[in-house]
Amino acid sequence: MGVRLHKKYGPIVRIGPNQLSYIDPRAWKDIQGHRVGGRGGFPKDRSLMGHQEHSDILHADDATHTRQRRIFSHAFSEKALREQESLIRGYTDLLVSKLEEKTSRRDGHTKDNTTTVDIVRMYNFTTFDIMADLTFGEPLGMLQDGDYVPWVSNIFSSVKYMVMGTFLRVYPIFGRLFAPLLSSSLKAEMEKHTKYSNDRVDRRLQYDKDRGDIWSLVQRNADLNNISRGEMYANAQIFMIAGTETTATLLSGLTFLLCRNSDKLRILCREIRSLHLQDLNIINLQRLPYLNACLEEGLRMYPPAPGVVPRVAPQGGSTVCGQFVPEGTATSVAQYAAYTSAYNFADPHDFVPERWFAEPPEKYAEDNKEVVQPFSYGPRNCIGKNLAYHEMRLILAIVLWKFDIELADKNSNWIKQKSFGIWEKPPLDVHLYFREGCM
């Protein structure tokens, strides 16, 4: 809906009696940027969050967020990420091993008589196994066993529960119709996720295991007396939601886009394969311009969390994109609409990684690339941003180094999906082939 409204009415649209939607890149700084001179910021709309017994880093007020971010920042620093690389690489190697079992040789012979792989499923297994190990010090075993554990199904349901809860608070008129359904089904799944997550935090904190996971890094560098057990529970739940499905979503979407644009895929494979396999590490991959351009273009065309988190204009009102916004007005950047609008990009629906070069082709030199903020913006941006980038680079690079890949259905329209906070992704079936010399 936001795409159509902004296409018809322009970069600023009134989408409700007290709601403004933006696709102008200046809105990020005006709404969510650092404040100077004592000016009040735009707080999150607390009315949309519902009751929380313990605050997590995503939903906390500014003071609590600052305290929690200081504590968890040690676990997401560049130093910590270098410690965690071997863990991420271990699961990536396991992913490759499992993919090899379903991979064709070019003569058509396969190890298990099938050449089709649902790559969405495999990416999900990988990212959930990684984040569970980082968050709780133990894996889920989904890659090894080749199936989802019930808890992950609870997590998907939990996201829907949170999104539907927000919807009912925005439009209370629908509450009488949908609240009973919400409480009887999705709420139960949310409660299962909460209990399972809390139990794992308790189990992890019972033993002193300095293994580079989130809690050992926090214990090593911060005072755990500054965070309650309830806040630990709440943040572990958020890490397992925000640090898993979103990464797998980007990898899935980017794989589709690359397969649909074989010329871009060839360029990327050539860049990645110029390195030896043992040299594919987080430091070297940061330096690959085409790989990083592909990631940015994937995030633009298929942002993992395309929804919005409204902020409320502060007391006395404020200015957004050069116009006064009255106190109490809900404001937000419509990410997907902004990222795919001709207002911001030439050829907005074309996959053009080159637009992200330091010196892009002339046609794309005026693109408003600063509007793309999939990890949010300002002092409350995603604390796991660097981890996500390292994980995405490493997984994609090693998969493309080892395999040639193509869509099983060349005419697939897979990327056309519904979104309820996260994309409702169907399976993405691909054919994988052993790259010559890599068997």
**Annotated binding-site ranges:** 382
Q: Which amino acid is at 284?
A: N
Token pair for 415: 């990327």
Binding residues for heme: 382
Closest CA to 213 of 315, 103, 72: 72
Token pair for 249: 């979503």
Token pair for 395: 């997984």
| Cα distance between residue 155 and residue 127, in whole Å | 13
Helix axes 214-221, 187-205, angle to 10 degrees: 50
Q: Where does 319-363 have alpha helices with state H?
A: 335-339
| Cα distance between residue 253 and residue 361, in whole Å | 24
Q: Which amino acid is at 335?
A: Q
Distances (CA, A) of 220 to 76, 130, 131, 210: 13, 21, 19, 8
Burial 132-144 (b: 16+ CB within 10 A, else e): bbbbbbebbebbe
Q: Which amino acid is at 405?
A: I
Nearest 5°: the CA angle 250, 374, 38 is: 160
Strand order in the sheet with 429-434: 116-118, 429-434, 403-407
| Cα distance between residue 129 and residue 122, in whole Å | 11
| Cα distance between residue 112 and residue 318, in whole Å | 62
338 by Cβ neighbours in 10 Å (0-12 / 13-18 / 19+) ranks as buried
Q: Which amino acid is at 8?
A: K
| Cα distance between residue 339 and residue 418, in whole Å | 17
CB atoms < 10 A from the CB of 395, how many? 24
Asked whether the beta carbons of 303 and 339 are under 8 A apart, the reply is yes
